[in-house]
Amino acid sequence: MRSFLLRRLGQSATTLVGVSLLVFVILRVIPGDPAKMLLPEGAPQSAIDALNRELGLREPMWVQYGIFLRSVTRGDFGQSFQYRAPALRVVVERVPATIQLALAAMLLTVVFGVSIGVLAAVRRGTGYDYAGTVLAVLGQSLPNFWLGIMLILLFGVTLRWLPTSGFQGWRYLVLPSVTLAAFPTALVARLTRSSLLEILGQEYIRTGRAKGLGERSVILRHALRNAAIPLLTVIGLQIGTLLGGAVITESIFAWPGMGKLVVDAIFFRDFPVVQTVLILSATIFVVINLVIDLLYTVLDPRIRYG
């Protein structure tokens, strides 16, 4: 177990170093002049050059990477060009809003995705099954930016039931989290249905029924528990979708999280903030998937990492 943990930690660390290099190279190799974006229009070339020098953008690439690594070890990830504050602080201030949104969406995904999937599998071939399938196909086909706008149109503009932008309490969370959850919910529902159907055909399920277990116990304690591993894997991978989807969802609903921050930062060529957001989201993704790998052993005692 310990050696497995060390190996996986090592792999994760390598991945993250790779991520930092990739982000860095992409943002620097490609043309675009941050200083020009930061200064008022029509600023003289000398001012642009001076600012570029001040920001360290005229150094050779490997020196810039070195400066960046030093800022990482210092714990500030460089200075935000736009906010004139440590990039990490700028980003971390926005993290709670994104986490709140992602958690709400994740909760909706698990609750509705698994229930719809279970219902469709247990009532296979009935109206429930078809309704579930149609919902799932729709959920995977509606672009979240369109769904968000349609929800705003219906609940915000027409019915005036819910607020459509901002961040002050749970009512503000409803529309963005539904928007963000639609796609992963559909995916989880389909996967729950198909893995549950496969498991329900197994002999131990028949054994369970034969020894007189109630249907509820067969489904929830025996079948669903065995479907948990593929489900958990997919849910873990959906963290990436949620963080990415947050970019668009937060922009639509003016939700003050990392997603909106990164879009704004990109328009300002605020590289330190962009690279901090990218690295931070990759870290969250990698850590959560590591935790899920470890959870397998809890869910399925047959899995032992040597």
Partner 1 sequence: MSRLLRHPMAVVGGLILGAVIAASAAAPLLASSDPIKPSFGKRLQPPKVLGGASQNVLGTDNLGRDILARLLYGGRVSLALAASAVVVAASVGVAVGLAAGVLGGRLDGVVMRVADVQLAFPVIMLAIAIVAVVGTSPGALVSVLALSGWVLYARTVRASVLTIRQLDYVEAARTLGASDLRVVLLHILPNTLAPILVIGSSQFATMVLLESGLSFLGLGVQPPQPSWGAMLAEGRDYLSNAWWLATVPGMAISLVVLGANLLGDGLRDLLDPRLRQ
With respect to partner 1, which residue has the nearer C-beta, 1 or 153?
Answer: 153
Binning the chain into helix, strand and coil, the percentages to the nearest 5 are: 80, 0, 20
Least Cβ distance, residue 211 to partner 1 (angstroms): 30
With respect to partner 1, which residue has the nearer C-beta, 128 or 156?
Answer: 156
Look at the block and give the residue holding tokens 């060529």.
Answer: 269
Least Cβ distance, residue 94 to partner 1 (angstroms): 14
Least Cβ distance, residue 191 to partner 1 (angstroms): 13
Least Cβ distance, residue 141 to partner 1 (angstroms): 4
Q: What is the DSSP letter of 40?
A: P
- Cα separation values, 172 from 16, 164, 177, 181, 197, Å: 34, 7, 9, 15, 38
Least Cβ distance, residue 220 to partner 1 (angstroms): 26
Task: Please list the residues that pair with 86 across neighbouring strands.
Answer: 79
With respect to partner 1, which residue has the nearer C-beta, 78 or 208?
Answer: 78
Identify the CA nearest to 200 among candidates 132, 255, 133, 122: 122
Contact at 8 Å (CB) between 136 and 119?
A: no
Look at the block and give the residue holding tokens 């990490």.
Answer: 88
Look at the block and give the residue holding tokens 């974006």.
Answer: 37
Least Cβ distance, residue 286 to partner 1 (angstroms): 5
With respect to partner 1, which residue has the nearer C-beta, 218 or 280?
Answer: 280
With respect to partner 1, which residue has the nearer C-beta, 145 or 305?
Answer: 145
Six token digits for residue 91: 């980003």
Contact at 8 Å (CB) between 257 and 94?
A: yes
Neighbours of 158 (CB within 10 A): 9
Contact at 8 Å (CB) between 235 and 109?
A: yes
Least Cβ distance, residue 26 to partner 1 (angstroms): 6
With respect to partner 1, which residue has the nearer C-beta, 21 or 107?
Answer: 21
With respect to partner 1, which residue has the nearer C-beta, 155 or 296?
Answer: 155
- Residues contributing to the site for partner 1 (CB under 8 A): 11, 14-16, 18-19, 22-23, 26-27, 30-32, 137-138, 140-143, 145-146, 149-150, 152-153, 157, 240-241, 243-245, 247-248, 251-252, 262-263, 266-267, 269, 274, 277-278, 281-282, 285-286
